[in-house]
Amino acid sequence: MHISDGILEPQWIVFWWLVALAFIAVGVYQIRKKSKGNPTYLPTLALMGAAIFVISVWHIPVPVTGSCSHPCGTPMSAIIVGPFPTVVVSAIALFFQTFVGHGGITTIGANSISMGIVGTFTGFGTWIALRKFGVGIFWAAGMAGFVGDVLTYVTTAFELAISLHPEEIFRYWVIFAVGFVPTQLPLAIVEFVFTGLVVRYIADVRPEMLKFSGFSFGSQVA
């Protein structure tokens, strides 16, 4: 989902930046609020930022397709520290990833929209919805990871299509999305498993950490 510099049209660069900044502003406000009187919140948030940086830059080969890609990590972070703060640490991770050839400065807004906002909020929404329906922690968190991962790439395809082919958005959206599918689908399954395992484990040994997001479900035991 890392769109490089030089690809998007200037008006879309500005638009995605403005939308991302609105979410980042809310995120910064929430971080300040949540960290007051809770000394464990900021270090946990920093850990999530580090996890997102590593997870979303770690290319895993899919030999069958002859290519490689990476999971996102933002759904897991949203479940643990909340969705808006995740947008902030995701943007920071995207900035540092430009130093290792992933993404670009002008496209941090667009990349924040796909991974930091769509991936985060759809994953978090899936988690909340499934937990409300009584689905177990592993399956709810796993589905959050899967949905967030897939929709991150669907959004990236949309961003490319709307910027480069405004006259045939839907056609190119499908073309670019299909380009991601063969490699990204197996990795979305990987994201399903590790998100489910990590959240399940935290729920077992440090259930209080799952209250940082602002949503908790009783004892957090499935």
> Quick count: other Cβ atoms within 10 Å of Cβ 129?
14
Strands (E), 38-145: 60-62, 67-69
Return the number of the residue (83 or 103) whose C-beta is nearest another protein. Answer: 103
CA distance readout (Å), 94 to 6, 72, 143, 170, 207: 16, 11, 24, 27, 29
Rg (CA), the chain: 17
Return the number of the residue (74 or 184) whose C-beta is nearest another protein. Answer: 184
Here the tokens at position 72 are 């996102």
Cβ proximity of 210 and 124 under 8 Å: no
> Quick count: other Cβ atoms within 10 Å of Cβ 143?
20
Q: Does 162 bind another protein (CB under 8 A)?
A: no
Q: How far is the CB of 143 from another protein (least distance, A)?
A: 22
Residues 10-69 within binding reach of another protein (CB under 8 A): 37-40, 42-44, 46-47, 50, 53, 59, 61, 63, 65-69
Length in residues, the chain? 222
Q: Does 99 bind another protein (CB under 8 A)?
A: yes
Q: How far is the CB of 123 from another protein (least distance, A)?
A: 19
Q: Does 174 bind another protein (CB under 8 A)?
A: no
Q: Which of 133, 205, 218, 219 binds another protein (CB under 8 A)?
A: 205
> Quick count: other Cβ atoms within 10 Å of Cβ 104?
20
Q: Which of 28, 129, 164, 190 binds another protein (CB under 8 A)?
A: 164
Binding stretches for another protein (CB under 8 A)? 1-7, 37-40, 42-44, 46-47, 50, 53, 59, 61, 63, 65-69, 96, 98-105, 156-157, 160-161, 163-165, 172, 175-176, 179-180, 183-184, 201, 205-206, 208-209
